[in-house]
């Protein structure tokens, strides 16, 4: 068995863990604590599939932690430790950075907007761009011109999406503690953005986001409140593996 991490909270309040709270595979959620930080964990098998149900269960435990009236620092799905001692040792080693992150999100929730566009991005569409004006008899040249035209279309699309997200950001700015970078998508969701909002500001956020002035063909779907997944960056001297 290994120790699966769901989230971190501060200060430790073992009395607030609901009786019968379960995590992945129905395993009981337990609390660990070190240096004023509480970790919600459960003992899981060495192999856990990254399936929809697992991700939902992970988030449900985080939501239970939110229901205790504190703001959890949600752990990214998939973090397992050899045992409780290993989990505590890693928390203790990064204590200062984690404590700072917990203070940053204290008393807040994450709200977000999904920008839904009338049409998909050029990169997501299957049709080729119209390159008749630039086509030549040379197939290689034509191919490269096609790529260039498609990239230009995509760049214009991205700029338009970012412009809409910044309009939403402007509309809610007075209500938020922090904003995440605008993210551009390629599917049904043209882009998204998250905001850190105090618990009392959720209703006003919904209203302000819905009032943002958007270009025709765009609308926003407001999501949240949820745990501050987008505001968990912990600045540490760690390397990065880029996984595709």
Residues in the site for other proteins, rule: CB under 8 A? 2, 5, 8, 46-52, 55, 58-59, 73-82, 86-87, 90-91, 93-94, 98, 101, 112, 114, 116, 181, 183, 188-189, 192, 221, 223, 226, 229-230, 232-234, 236, 238-244
Query: And the tokens for 20?
Result: 């019968």
CB nearer to other proteins: pick between 94 and 142: 94
* Least gap, CB of 218 to other proteins (angstroms): 14
Furthest C-alpha separation in the chain: 76
| DSSP bridge pairs for 108 | 198
Nearer to other proteins, 139 or 216 (CB): 216
> Residue 160 or 180: which CB sits closer to other proteins?
180
Q: Closest distance between other proteins and the C-beta of residue 77, in Å?
A: 5
> Which structure tokens are listed for 215?
């270009």
Q: Which is closer to other proteins, CB of 7 or CB of 172?
A: 7
Nearest 5°: phi and psi at 59?
-70, -35
* DSSP-assigned letters across all residues of 112-142: EEEEEESS--TTT--SPP--TTT--S-HHHH
Q: Least distance (Å) from other proteins to the CB of residue 145?
A: 26
CB-based burial label for 194 (10 Å; 0-12, 13-18, 19+): buried
Q: Are 38 and 70 in contact (CB under 8 A)?
A: no
CB of 96 closer than 8 Å to CB of 133: no
CB of 134 vs other proteins, minimal distance in Å: 29
Find the helix packing angle between 139-172 and 202-210, rounded to 10°.
130
Question: Least CB distance from residue 113 to other proteins, whole Å?
Answer: 10
The residue (of 144 and 217) whose beta carbon lies closer to other proteins is: 217
């Amino acid at each position: 068995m290994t120790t699966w991490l769901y989230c971190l909270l501060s200060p430790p309040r073992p009395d607030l863990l609901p009786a019968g709270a379960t995590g992945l595979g129905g395993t009981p959620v337990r609390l660990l604590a070190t240096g004023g930080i509480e970790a919600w964990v459960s003992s899981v098998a060495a192999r856990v599939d990254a399936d929809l149900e697992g991700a939902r269960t992970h988030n449900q435990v985080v939501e239970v932690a939110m229901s205790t009236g504190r703001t959890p620092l949600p752990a990214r799905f998939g973090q397992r430790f050899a045992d409780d001692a290993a989990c505590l040792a890693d928390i203790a080693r990064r204590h200062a950075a984690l404590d700072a992150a917990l203070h940053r999100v204290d008393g807040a929730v994450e709200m977000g907007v999904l920008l839904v566009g009338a049409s998909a991005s050029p990169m997501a569409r299957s049709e080729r761009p119209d390159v008749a004006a630039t086509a030549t008899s040379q197939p290689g040249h034509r191919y490269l011109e096609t790529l260039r035209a498609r990239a230009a279309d995509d760049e214009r699309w991205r700029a338009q999406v970012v412009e809409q997200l910044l309009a939403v950001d402007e509309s809610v700015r007075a209500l938020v503690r922090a904003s995440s970078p605008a993210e551009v998508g390629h599917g049904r969701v043209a882009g998204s953005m998250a905001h850190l909002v105090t618990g009392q500001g959720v209703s006003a956020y919904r209203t302000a986001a819905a009032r943002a002035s958007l270009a025709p063909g765009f609308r926003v779907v407001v999501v949240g409140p949820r745990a501050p997944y987008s505001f968990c960056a912990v600045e540490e001297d760690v390397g990065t593996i880029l996984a595709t």
